[in-house]
Amino acid sequence: MRLLAGLWACLADLGLGLGLATAQAEGLAEARYLDPTTRYDHAVLGDAVEWGALALTGAESGQVVTLTLPPSRVFEDVAPRLVDVDLDGAFDAMVVESDQSLGARLAIYSADGSLMAATPFIGQRYRWLAPVGAADLDGDGRVEVAYVDRPHLARTLRVWRYDDGALVEVAALPGVTNHRIGEADIAGGLRECLGKIEIIVASADWARVLGVTFDGATLAMRDLGPHVDRSSFAKAMTC
């Protein structure tokens, strides 16, 4: 279930057209997790199995680079997401990486396995984040990445901009979530309708489905209707 949900999430990100330009540099054709491990027993995604390695397949060469994490870390995630954060026409891999002592962070790796950028670790064991996606949310020619920080506790949407080789936090909105403990998938994502990108999440109490936009400075939220189940999100993700 987790692998199927992750594949859907990866395809959904690609559908936003983050890499419309023809690839000009070696980017990724595929990214997938390897080496299942139980060394980090958080089980936030429904079981105690996480991942110890990331396989990166080059789009042009077909070469596979395997990035293996140290024993103190795992990929605590549904699946890697292919994103083009520097808008060079080549896909990179966006992942959730968790540390035994420091909890989760969002990280972006290039096709050669190099770390391009990452958010700080949350700072405590068993503290997690649930990715939403990556896109130029405000139309300024730079890509933002969004996730829900501790969707079961802090329930805060955070937006970071990729700028000059780093992720810089530019906005935050409390009172939202996109995951419940034990679910094998992450709800919502990004939708683009009539050239406008919205972040689709739920209210913190799971009563409502919300659409959130970013204007470059602030996040604005609107109610899209009641939340019943995943069909509510499927409806919200369409124009």
pLDDT in tens, 83-114: 999 999 999 999 999 999 999 999 999 999 99
Nearest to 212 by CA among 203, 199, 223: 199
Residue 168 burial (C-beta neighbours within 10 Å; 0-12, 13-18, 19+): middle
pLDDT score of 12: 38
Q: Is the dihedral of CA 235, 91, 136, 150 positive or negative?
A: positive
Mean pLDDT over 218-237 rounds to 97
The pLDDT of 54-67, averaged and rounded, is 96
pLDDT band at 134 (very low <50, low <70, confident <90, very high): very high
What pLDDT shows up at residue 26?
Answer: 84
Burial class (CB in 10 A: 0-12, 13-18, 19+), 233: buried
Q: How far apart are CA 91 and CA 24, in angstroms?
A: 10
Task: Answer for the pair 106, 145: CB distance below 8 angstroms, yes or no.
Answer: yes
Average predicted confidence (pLDDT) for the chain: 91
Determine the Cα–Cα distance for residues 19 and 223; give it in Å rounded to an integer: 30
Query: Cα–Cα distance between 152 and 212 in angstroms, integer?
Result: 19
- Given a cut of 80, whether residue 4 has pLDDT beyond it is no
- Tell me how long the chain is: 239
Model pLDDT, residue 22:
34
